[in-house]
Copies of this chain bind each other. A is one copy, B any other.
Amino acid sequence: MKITRRGLAKGLVAAGASAGISGLLHTEPQVEAEQFSWIGWMNVYPGVWKASIGMPESYTPVATRLIPAQAEAFAKLPRVDAPPLDAIRGQNTQRGCLVQLPLRPHEEIFGLGLQFLSFAQRGKKKVVRVNADPKFDSGDSHAPVPFYVTTEGIGILIDTARYATFYFGDARPSPMRAMDSVDSSSADPTYTHNIQDSDDGTVTVEIPRAAGVDVYLFAGPQMLDAVRRYNVFSGGGHIPPEWGLGFWYRVDARATQQSALSLAEEFRERKIPCDVVGLEPGWQTHAYSCTFAWNRNRFPDPDRFVQTAQEMHYKINLWEHAFVHPASPLFPSIRRHSGDYGVWGGLVPDFAGEPARTQFGEYHAKSFLDAGISGFKLDECDNSDYTGGWSFPECSVFPSGLDGEQMHNLFGLRYQMAIWNEYRKRGVPTLNLVRSSGALASPYPFVLYSDLYVHRDFIRALVNSGFSGLLWCPEVRDAASEEDLIRRLQSVVFSPLAMVNGWYIRNPPWKQLDRRLNNADQLRADWEKLEARCREIINWRMQLIPYLHAAFQRYAEDGTPPFRALVLDTPDDRRLRNVDDQYMIGDRMMVAPLFAGEPERRIVLPKGGWHDFWTGEAFQGASEIRLPESTERIPVYVKEGGVIPWADVGLFAGAPQTRRITARIYGDGSLPFSFTGEREALNLAWKNGQGTSNGTRGYDVYAWQKIG
C-alpha cells in the first residue's frame, strides 16, 4: 500500500479499514522512502486502547507504574465499543520515533499538564520538558504530562519519560504540485499563516531516543469522559483528608520552635482558621542540600513541638528537597542508589529504583511520620536547569538505568511515592505539596505549587490542571497591594489547597505587606482591618469544605476532576475554548477570580441558568457579564437549581462548628446535593419549598436558606 505523506492529513480519518495494516510512506522522489506503519488499536480497558510502535522503552510512566488502574471504576463511565480514532501512524527514525494522529476541522486540543502560558493548543509546538521556570509557551512546565484531550472526546497518552515534542497540527507536509499563478492584486502583501481552524491536519509527536512507544487512547464520548477515563486508568482520584482541605500557613524559614508555636497560638486567638503549619528550610541543620535532620538550635525538642501543635489541632508539614547532603544520616544508605551527578553538593537519589525510595522513605517514616509529621513539601524537584546548576544534567546516569532526561520526567512522581508509600503502609492519611509531577498522578496525595507568581498564570494553571489529573495550589506569598493580597487569597480559598506561604516574612502578610517592614515587626496601623477581611475569606474556605469534599469524592469514584475548565463540561460551546480564567468546582459551582488592577471583569456564562453564589441574583446562561473593578467578593456562580452545603466556621477541620450546615438553595433547588464519606454522609434535597436531609450522618443541617 502506497500512501503519500500529503495523503495523511486528508486521508487518515477516512481510512478506517486500514487499521492494522502497514505500508511504506512514499513522499515523492525528493526524500528517500521512510518506514511508516499504520498501527491499529488493542483494547486494554473499557474504552481504553493501546497502539504499540516499535520497541517501547522499558522505563515509561505506564510500564513502571506503581499504582494500578482503578479497574472497577470503568463501569461507571459510558460504554464505548470501538476506538473513536482510526489507525495511527508510527515510525522509528534515527532520532527516535514518530507518531502521527489525525485531527478534524475545528478540533481543539487541551492538556499537556500544568501549562501556565497557554490554554487551547492547536497549531502550537510543545515540548513536554520539566522546567521550573517556563518563560515562554514552549511546553516547559514543572509538571508536564504527555497527555492531551480534544473536543472530539479523544484522550491520548504518549507513554514516554522523554522530552517528547508535540506538533499540534502546525507541521505540514511539503506541497507536491506547482500552481500556475497566484493572485497578487491585493493592496497589502499577503502573509499566509500555516494553520486555519477549518483545516484538518495531523498531530505529530516525536519521541527522542526511543525505538518505539505505546500510545493510549481514551474514549469519550464527551471530552470530560475521556479525562475521567484517563484518571481512572491512572488509578483514580485521591480524596484528601478533611484537614488537607482546611487552611495552611507556612512560617518564616528562620522560625524557631517557639516562634512557630506562638504564631499558631495567635491564629487560634485571632480566630483565623488553620489546619496545617508548614516549616521551611530552617528546621534542618543544612539545606541546599538537605540533611533531613532537626536543627536543635531552632527546634530543641521536635517531639514536644509536634505534640504541642497537635494539642492545638494543628498538623505539621516539613519542607525539604531530595538532594542528600553528605552530613545527612541518610547519606550512607542513599549513596549507592544515586546518580553520578550531584546537586548543591548533595546526592540525587535514584527514585526510579525501589532501593532509593525505600531507604529514603523508611528514614522519613522513622524520623518524622512516626513522630506525627502529617506530610511534606517536596521542593526543587522540578529542574531549574537554566538557573546555574540547580538540578542534575540530562546526561546523568542512574543505577536503575535511566538517564537524566527520563529521570526529570519521573522524578517528581517517584519522589512522591517514596514519601507516600510510608503513609500508605501505615494507613495514615496525608496530603503533601510538591514542585513536580507527571503522567498518572491522580491517585497521589500531592498538590503542586511553584516559585512562579503571576496571578493570571496561576489561574490558567489551575484551569489546565484538570485536563491531566493534577491538583494545583495558587499559593499566596507577597502582594503588590492590599487588593492584590485580597484577590490572591480569594482565589486560593477556591482552589485545591488553600495556603499562605510566609517563608520570608515574620508576620502574616495582612499585618504588613512590605517585606522589609514585616521582618522588622513594623506592622500596618490598620492591620486588624485587613486581617478581618482576610479572616472572612479564610472562613469561606472552612465553609466550603463539605462541598469540596464531595467534589473530591466524585474524583475518586469516576475520575471527574474536582477543578476543571468550563470547556470540559460544555465542549460544544465554542466560546469556552478560550476561557482560561474561570473554572468549575464540582458539578455546580463556577469561579471567576478577579485580578488586582484590572478595570473590569468579563465573565462567560455557559448555557443554562446561573445564580450569583453570594446574592442569588439570577442570570441567563449562554451570555456574558461584565463586572466593575469595585466588585468586593470573588465572583462565584451556581447552576440553576443547585443546592450547596455551607458549613459554620470552625477553626480547624472537624471542629464541632464545621458539622453545622446551612443548605443554600439556588433557583428551584432541583439539583440535590449528596456526599457519603467514610464515616459521614450529607444529603440535601429541596422540593416544593421544603428541605430534606435523609440519610445524613455526622452533620447537623440546621438551616435551609433560599438564596435566589
Contact = CB atoms under 8 A, between A and B. Distances in A.
B340 A395 contact: no
A405 B177 CA distance: 26
A133 B172 CA distance: 21
Contacts of A346: 175
A608 interface: no
Interface in A116-134: 123-125, 133
A388 B123 contact: yes
Interface stretch (A24-32, A75-83, A216-224, A529-537): A24-32
B179 A327 contact: yes
A596 interface: no
Interface stretch (A286-294, A585-593, A676-684, A690-698): A286-294
Contacts of A137: 386
The quantity of this chain's copies bound in the complex is 2
A268 interface: no
A398 B136 CA distance: 29
Interface string A275-294: 00000111011111101000
Q: Which of A165, A189, A206, A287 has the most CB of B within 10 A?
A: A189
Contacts of A289: 192
Interface in A1-42: 5, 27-32, 34
Interface stretch (A93-101, A490-498, A640-648): A93-101
A389 B136 contact: no
Contact of A340 (B174, B180, B340): B174
A403 B95 contact: yes
A542 to B, nearest CB: 32
A3 to B, nearest CB: 13
Nearest to A169: B389
Interface residues of A, number: 99
A397 interface: yes
Interface stretch (A142-150, A329-337, A360-368, A433-441): A329-337
A295 B184 contact: yes
A177 B284 CA distance: 20
B339 A31 contact: yes
B184 A345 contact: no
Given A173-B342, A341-B172, A189 B253 contact: yes
Contacts of A182: 285-286, 291, 325, 327
A203 to B, nearest CB: 12
Nearest to A295: B184
Contacts of A394: 95, 165, 206
Contacts of A72: none
A673 B194 CA distance: 54
B31 A95 contact: no
B395 A336 contact: no
Interface in A191-219: 191-195, 204, 206, 208-209
A344 B296 CA distance: 65
Contacts of A326: 175, 177-179
B193 A388 contact: yes
Contact of A344 (B188, B192, B297, B344): B192
Interface string A368-404: 0000000000000000011011101111011100010
A630 interface: no
A175 to B, nearest CB: 5
A393 B171 contact: yes
A289 to B, nearest CB: 7
A565 to B, nearest CB: 21
25 contacts: A5-B340, A30-B336, A30-B338, A95-B395, A124-B388, A171-B392, A172-B341, A172-B345, A172-B389, A175-B346, A178-B331, A179-B326, A180-B327, A184-B295, A185-B297, A189-B254, A190-B286, A190-B288, A191-B288, A192-B288, A192-B344, A192-B345, A193-B288, A193-B344, A209-B209
A-B residue pairs, 5 tightest by C-beta: A194-B389, A170-B389, A184-B285, A135-B136, A174-B342
Interface of A: 5, 27-32, 34, 93-95, 98, 123-125, 133, 135-138, 165, 167, 170-182, 184-185, 187-195, 204, 206, 208-209, 253-254, 280-282, 284-289, 291, 295-297, 325-327, 331-332, 335-348, 350, 385-386, 388-390, 392-395, 397-399, 403, 405
